[in-house]
Amino acid sequence: MPDEISQSPAITVEDIDRATEIHRATEKDSAAQGYTHVSIDAVREANIQLGEKYDSLKEELEKTKKRIRTIEILDDLIEPMATKAFWFMCVYCAVVAVLLTLHGFAAMGFYLPEGVLKFLVGSTATTVIGLVGMVLTCVFVGARGRGSY
């Protein structure tokens, strides 16, 4: 330890008097060059906050990726069922249309009782309204929940 003291340069009273001038000159040079003095604690705190923000954004990204993947899977599962429901509705309506046309023109002596006619017309409306309503609202929105589409 005594060797270290003897090897360090001697500080004079003049050096102590000039210390504030040297410090001010250094601050002016730093300010002129755009430097700002920041404490180590401030840098550590900023680094900690940056790390926390990074972690939260990374977590949010993972959740978003999972949500997107879930929507893609639901689309793949729902599409065939929606297509089948649509074609069922089209075929059913076409069959009812043919039956009503045959009954209306009394082609080949074709006749349907009034109760059957009411059932066919009512069930057609129910099929169209029900299936379209289910496919467009219940299945797609219900499977994903509101606000995820």
Dihedrals phi, psi of 113, to nearest 5 degrees: -65, 160
Among candidate residues 91, 92, 114, the one with its CA nearest the CA of residue 103: 114
pLDDT for the residue 52: 95
CA distance linking residue 131 with residue 149, whole number of Å: 20
What's the CA gap between 13 and 24, in Å, rounded? 18
The number of distinct structural domains making up the chain is 1
Specify if 6 maps to a domain: no
Boundaries of domain holding 132: 18-144
Residue 84 within any structural domain of the chain: yes
| pTM (predicted TM-score) | 0.47
Asked if residue 13 belongs to a domain, the reply is no
39 in any annotated domain: yes
- CA atoms 12, 13, 16, 17: torsion sign: negative
Per-residue pLDDT for the chain (149 aa), expressed as one digit of tens each? Answer: 455 555 656 777 777 777 777 767 666 666 566 666 778 888 899 999 999 999 999 999 999 999 999 888 877 887 888 788 888 888 888 888 888 888 888 878 888 898 988 888 888 888 777 777 776 665 655 555 555 54
